[in-house]
Amino acid sequence: MRTNTRSLRRAALVGAAIGLVAPGIVVAGSATADEPLDCSTVAWMDTSKTPAERAAALLEVSSQYQTYRWLVEQPATQPTTTSFRGVEYPVQVECTPEITYTDGPDGVRTSGTTAWPAPLAIAATWDTDLAYDKGDAMGEESFLKGRNMILAPGVASGRTPLSGRTPEYLGEDSLLSGLMAAAGVNGIQADGTVLGELKHYVANEQETARTTSSSNIDERTLREVYELPFEIALQRSDPGSIMCSYNQINGTYACENAETLGALKDDLGLDAGFVVSDFGAVHTTAASLNAGMDQELNRPRYFTPALLDEALAAGEITQERIDEAAMRVISAYIAGGLFDNPKPVATTDSVSTEAHKALAYQAGLESSVLLKNDGILPLDTSGVGSIALIGPTASSTVTDGISASSVCSMSGFRGGSLTCEDLVSAETAMTARAAQDGISVAWNDGADLTAAADAAAAADVAVVFGYQRMGEFSDIPDLHLQGGGDALVEAVAAANPNTVVVLQTGSAVEMPWIDGVDAVLENWYGGEVQGPVIASLLFGDESPSGKLPMTFPVSLADTPTAGSVEQFPGVADASGILQVDYSEGLEVGYHWYEAQGIEPLFPFGYGLTYSTFRYSHLQVTPTSTDGDHAVRISFRLTNTGDVTATEVAQAYVELPAAADEPSKRLVGWERVTLRPHQHKNVTITLTRDDLRDLHLLQYYDTEDGAWTTANGVYTVTVGGSIDTTLTDTFRIHHASRHHHTAR
């Protein structure tokens, strides 16, 4: 077996690891059978030292093969196990922890945990405090379940609403998704016992041929659209790791792409964390390691000791790069508290507390988006005697394989184990809530359209449920409701003039029936509390406050990638790799609709409440700046209705023509709760740090390889969605360039 040494000390340690040191010689970091090592005495457990100092101390006493262990998940996290599907390692240096990774953008993937509303729903709250609290609760549940690294949160850019993992991500806007992801990471890591992880880096925008496709993107689009949410998250949080994705970027796999991984570490802000692959996303040894990937997920395949030895002997990799990768992994584990707070033996009990369930309920209330309301909501309890609930997802009773659990979370139908054990269906919750006012509730599964119409006609109000199931491994074929949902809505609406539609979807849907119904409530994948949330909102115990984190088009034909198969899902080349042409460039999400002049069904940021709001007195200060000082966007928000409600007030900025941007962009928001006829003077401040770190007023100049602020007039708009009319302007002069990137 070939070994590589940097010194006689390293040679001795390697020899000890593989049995070549004579009996009786004790290697540093180990102990005799009679004298177990006192972990309080070793340098890598000295909490007075920095994580980097502790990691360096551990590597100093590690053999080459003990160092190799850190480069693969299973050997790194199971220190006393020596064989991984036939790949052999020595036992790890003592006083290193056992670590367990768990998937979980939507929740901790094991029994006895809270089933939260989907990440897309969390984004619809526009509430970073709630995202933090949800992350904190997930971290607590994960730790008690014996898992101390969560592969979450995930971000993408919403290039197509057909993408199967849309509900797993945080919407189509870089600022919203980046800040919500940062809040989630900070929450997960709040207690210093569990690490979070951002994924999937980068341009991982479809499930179709996700392992055999190339996202072909120009430099400016890559930077402004697909890397930016990761950069924003990294500027506002410090995740333990980032996961590189399956796809290629411009012909090179993400986990061996020196351009994108180099930018991640050198420019976007991954200063201390490590890069881990997605499962099966590694294709090479030397290319992946040299590009900047630090750890192979799951078992050793390309980072085995034999392959690393071979690449090292051939001069394809360096010892310095091996040590750097190990240092990043160990330092992240230490900084995240994993060395100092060993995970407990996993409990078999439920760790979903009442506080967590209450938080899930609050998330459901804040995330549900009222898309239409012709006055039927909230339900008039004095004039309604009976309600018909129609559709399979309204009930926990299974109809043709579909029930409320089918829309609890995306993992529930894609092999995950977020089981929604404490799910309360809309049927259960609505029945209990209606009984308080003497109203009867009857459920019809909607399987037979005639029977469904009869049930609707027999009730004072019909509430029909439409669903859409999607998740990992495949994209959806269209934006229609599934299970014949469109026909069901039309049949119910024709039978009852008082029809409310509740949508339980993971993406946008077409609504050919929209003019024939009185109200539409988007509940997304609502988690275990979907029923109580729906009941509270329909009866008006709470007012909806969610805002769309993605555009809802009138039809699929209006979406950015609908132009050709070259754009989506791509065309295979001679090698079988789907070449996906990102020719829409910067025109992704709402930028597309703005640039093309296409009116969507519901715009980004849209959402109604049971009250109304007026925006007035907009003023931007200063009126002239150099682009490197704070900008304050001030306005008055007035509740002009008769109920207390929450508005998500949003601010957008259109850059000067010289920037050549496709549309205005979101630059800030504030959730404001007001009593009837109350007003508040709101100021959204774009701080100097925001302007520099988040590139709020900048565009990426490919000639200079830098983020650039254009001179000229900037137009500010504020309102309850991107579709706003209240405007003011300010001017930037003597703008400067920031944040150089070597590509």
Q: Residue 33 has what DSSP assignment? A: T
Inter-axis angle of helices 319-335 and 305-313, nearest 10:
140
Exposure string over 565-585, b if 16+ CB within 10 A, otherwise e: ebbbbbeeeeeebbbbbbbbb
Three-state SS annotation for 570-629: CEECCCCCEEEECCCCCCCCHHHHHHHCCCCCECCCCCECCCCEEEEEEEEECCEECCCC
Distance set, CA 29 to CA 5, 59, 97, 289, 448 (Å): 18, 10, 14, 27, 70
Phi, psi of 362 (to 5 degrees): -65, -40
Q: Are 263 and 741 in contact (CB under 8 A)?
A: yes
CA pair distance 254, 252, nearest whole angstrom: 6
Tell me the backbone φ, ψ of residue 534, rounded to 5 degrees. Answer: -60, -45
User: Catalytic residue at 689?
Assistant: no
Could you tell me if 124 and 548 are in contact, meaning their C-beta atoms sit under 8 angstroms apart?
yes
User: How far is Cα 197 from Cα 186, in angstroms, rounded to an integer?
Assistant: 10
Looking at 278, 445, 581, 723, which residue is catalytic?
278
Residue with tokens 């050549």: 660
How far apart CA 210 and CA 202 sit, in angstroms, is: 12
What are the respective helix, strand and coil percentages of the chain, to the nearest 5?
30, 20, 50
∠ CA 720-520-382, nearest 5°, is 105
| Cα–Cα distance for residue pair 65/11, rounded to 1 Å | 11
CA distance 495 to 497: 7
* DSSP 3-state of 522: strand
DSSP assignment string, 122-148: HHHTT-HHHHHHHHHHHHHHHHHTT--
* CA pair distance 149, 104, nearest whole angstrom: 10
Q: What are phi and psi of 200, to 5 degrees?
A: -110, 120
Residues 6+ apart with CB under 8 A from 56: 327
The C-alpha atoms of residue 481 and residue 528 are separated, in whole angstroms, by 22
Backbone angles phi, psi at 219, to 5 degrees: -60, -45
SS3 sequence of 464-499: EEEECCCECCECCCCCCCCCCHHHHHHHHHHHCCCE
Catalytic site positions: 278
